[in-house]
Amino acid sequence: MNQPRKHAVVTGGGSGVGEAIALKLADESNLVTILGRRKEPLKIVANKHKNINWKVCDISKSEEVKNCYNGIRSAYGNINIVIANAGVADSKPFHKMSVSDITSLMEVNLIGVFNAFQSAFEDMKADNWGRMIAIASTAGLKGYSYVSAYSASKHAVVGLIKSLAIELAGKGITVNSVCPSYIDTPMTDRTIKNITEFGLFVGLEDDIDGMVHLSDIDWNVSGEEAIKNYKKGDVVTAGVSEIDVEKERISLSIKMLGKDQFVDAVDGIKRGAIITVEVTAIEEGGIEVNCNGMKSFIRRSDLSRDRAEQRPDKFTVGDKVDARVTSLDSKSRKIGLSIKAREIAEEKEAVEQYGSTDSGASLGDILGAALKDQDEK
């Protein structure tokens, strides 16, 4: 026995994830109405499948959504499924955000979901069956740098979904959210129009160019090296780091959307801590080591407190060594390490705990007592 087809509404159905969802629902013999702010992309998607209809609608405006739903309900029947996919994303350092920045995100990402769901609720209640699904984000589960407003809006969506799911339990209406990570869609794609010695010029909407400075291309290599990986016409993903209205300049950043290895490497590490690192290269001036995925360098003079033992060649690639963290410089993105500092700190601690050379004990005796105590523990 064939199941009666459902009427599904997909907000933000003119491209990307919304388009893919609409086409899948239509393939499953559902009647689909896609909503969006712009007519052209909606028409293009609707022309791809006979089961898809379209309607221009700003889901952030409550009355507009109600009127829109009344129209499509009259034309195609009760609304049984709502996929709240429409959303906007923006990136900006917190200290440069304005109230309007976070308000505009909340209006679409949160209020838009609320409007899309509430306007279909009576249909689902009458049919004793309904599906409400919000396309949220991993940003609704944890935080990310430079997208605090976006993350706040998605956290709010997840909170709304959890509460609504409990409220409607047992009524035949299920409420869920999907929290994907980064998805490559046209909303985040931009084309490189020009490359200069200062960085990349990227084409935005309305013939406006944004600039990715050399320092904003990659976390882990110099801008001069990173820019060699790009050419004119390449499509890149970048976030807005600053908008200067007076100078009519938009600054973009590619690296802000990527993983900052330095932050991960120093997570939980403080200056003065003793950590274990792995030797990755032997050089004349010292040894290169891996510290939680970040490269660091221990200079020859820091290899031992004993000058005679300050020899890089006594180490082998793959060796695990303990070193003291002497500095954490987020600006230069360097972790300062010293085996010598660790040895001095250990000797000082041993002297304080087990005696001093003034009492007649040799330094060897003191360290021997400390080592014996550690073995017994």
Residue range 81-119, pLDDT digits in tens: 999 999 887 777 788 888 998 999 999 999 999 999 999
What architecture is the 7-178 domain classified under in CATH?
Answer: 3-Layer(aba) Sandwich (3.40)
Closest CA to 12 of 80, 130, 109, 118: 109
**Amino acid letter, 88:** V
Q: Give the Cβ contact number of residue 254 at 10 Å.
A: 22
**Count of H-run helices and E-run strands, the chain:** 10, 17
Closest CA relative to residue 134, chosen from 160, 97, 172, 104:
160
Q: What is the CATH number of domain 262-350?
A: 2.40.50.140
Number of C-beta neighbours around residue 157 at 10 A: 26
Please give the share of the chain, as a percent, with pLDDT higher than 90: 54
What pLDDT is attached to residue 261? 72
Report the predicted TM-score, pTM, of the whole model to 2 decimal places. 0.55
Residue 150 is among the residues annotated as catalytic for this protein: yes
What's the half-sphere exposure (Cβ side, CA atoms, 13 Å) at 315? 29
Can 189-257 and 262-350 be said to share one CATH topology? Answer: yes
β-strand partners of 132: 82, 175
**How far apart are alpha carbons 173 and 165 in whole angstroms?**
8
b/e per residue 311-339 (b: at least 16 CB within 10 A): ebeebeeeeebebbbbebeeeebebbbbb
Given a cut of 80, whether residue 186 has pLDDT beyond it is no
* Active-site hit among 150, 182, 230, 354: 150
Helix (H) or strand (E) holding 82: strand 81-84
Residue 193 has what pLDDT? Answer: 87
Residue-wise pLDDT for 14-25, tens only, equals 988 899 999 999
Does position 371 have pLDDT exceeding 80, yes or no?
A: no
Indicate the class that CATH gives domain 189-257. Answer: mainly beta
Which of 102 and 221 is assigned the larger pLDDT?
102
Position 78 scores a pLDDT of: 96
Domain ranges of the chain: 7-178, 189-257, 262-350
222-275: pLDDT as tens digits: 889 999 999 988 888 887 777 665 566 788 888 877 766 777 778 778 889 999
Q: What is the pLDDT of residue 241?
A: 72
With CA atoms as reference, report the closest residue to 236 among 183, 204, 190.
Answer: 190
Is the pLDDT assigned to residue 287 strictly greater than 80? yes
Structural tokens at position 121: 């609720």
What is the structure's pLDDT at 356?
53
Query: Which residue in this structure is represented by tokens 């046209």?
Result: 186
Pair 348, 335: CB distance under 8 Å: no
Q: What is the mean pLDDT of residues 63-79?
A: 96
Distances in Å between the Cα of 312 and the Cα atoms of 8, 233, 276, 290, 298 are 67, 46, 17, 16, 9
